[in-house]
Amino acid sequence: MVLVTLNHHYHRLTLLHSMANSYTAPLRPQSKTIPQTGPPAAPRKSTTNENTLIQQPSPGARQNRVHGPQARANPQATPTSRPVEPLQRNIVNLDIDSIEKQMQLLRDQLAQAKEHEENLFRERTRDDDNLAEKLAATQASLERALALNVELNERLQAVQASGANEHIDKDVEDKSITRPKGNAGQHFSIQVEMKLASSKSKMSIYKGIQRCLRELAIRSGMNWELAWADIPSEEKVKLYRTARKQHPYLSKFRNDWATEEIVKQFFKNKRKNHYRNGWLAVPERYAHMADVSSKRNPAGSRTKTARKVFDERQRKRDQQRHREEVAALEDDAHEDEEMADGEDNEDGGEDEGEAGNDGDIYA
């Protein structure tokens, strides 16, 4: 801004300087001397010394001067020529000198401003270079940290997968498991079909998979307010790929149907909660659900299928454990009886021998 202002003043003074140089003060034309027709006038005596170069006219001569219309009326009057002083030219010269001084001052200020601007530009360039180097170093360190984080996550997932696979049923084969027919929750249980409902350890694995898939679904930015069919396929594919990396056990299910059903059920329950609390408008296609739910038997069972399977397996395990305990008790009792029978036989033999000896003695 300072540099622009100085340039403006400098160009303005340059214009004034050029105008002053091209200006010339008009000179007054000298009056012409009219020749005398009479006898020559006597020379005037000088009132000053001979060394004086300029002669002053006498007072009488000043009084005899005729000016104006009288001089024009009397042509015999002797006019005198008056020298023109160059006042206007002196004034112009003074203006030119002041303008040149101001121009020189502005040149100096302009040079200082340019030098200051160049210094600022060099400092700014140096700061930009330093900032670029710092940004590059920060970016490199961030990339290294991200790579290390990915490596650690892969190791952790491998450890978790190896620990989880130890508790998986042995009857789950390496080949993919197909999706059962019907709707999840109505015709089949997701947890049961995943072979994760027969023990507490397997149930904990299923709960861990559920929590992981819910977090992935929320972080993926999928619009849970939409129906599952309306969600773009690209978002679903990204979710399936990430889920398989987090839990390798999910790769056993063909077309990722287990992951799809768990996430679909999570979104469905979330929408249901918002419908119930009035936080989300109920679509028209779900208007008949209120009548259906009102006709539901309140005394009906609300136990999940997975819980029924777990209870049934637990009951069978308890029965098996009871049978094993009863069998062990029966074996212990049988051994006690055999030991008791052996001791009785030994005592009877000794009595018979003694009796025989007594008979022999008495005989």
d(CA 336, CA 143): 75
List the beta bridge partners of residue 101. none
Q: Classify residue 309 as exposed, middle or buried by CB count within 10 Å of its CB (0-12, 13-18, 19+).
A: middle
Helices (H), 78-189: 87-165
Taking residue 348's Cβ as centre, other Cβ atoms within 10 Å add up to 9
Question: Which of the given ranges, 116-125, 146-155, 212-221, 292-301, has the highest pLDDT on average?
Answer: 212-221
Q: Could you tell me if 274 and 282 are in contact, meaning their C-beta atoms sit under 8 angstroms apart? A: no
> What is the pLDDT at residue 43?
52
> What is the pLDDT at residue 119?
86
Higher pLDDT among residues 218 and 74, named by residue? 218
Q: Could you tell me if 180 and 188 are in contact, meaning their C-beta atoms sit under 8 angstroms apart? A: yes
> What is the pLDDT at residue 118?
86
Phi, psi at 179, each rounded to 5°: -80, 135
Taking residue 62's Cβ as centre, other Cβ atoms within 10 Å add up to 10
Is this model's pTM higher than 0.85 or not? no
Q: What is the mean pLDDT of residues 3-7?
A: 65
> What is the pLDDT at residue 326?
80
Q: What is the mean pLDDT of residues 311-328?
A: 83
> What is the pLDDT at residue 243?
94
Question: Which of the given ranges, 12-16, 95-99, 199-203, 331-335, has the highest pLDDT on average?
Answer: 199-203
> What is the pLDDT at residue 224?
92
d(CA 354, CA 196): 71
User: What does the pLDDT look like over 179-238, one tens digit per residue?
Assistant: 999 888 888 889 889 989 888 888 899 999 999 999 999 999 999 999 899 999 999 999
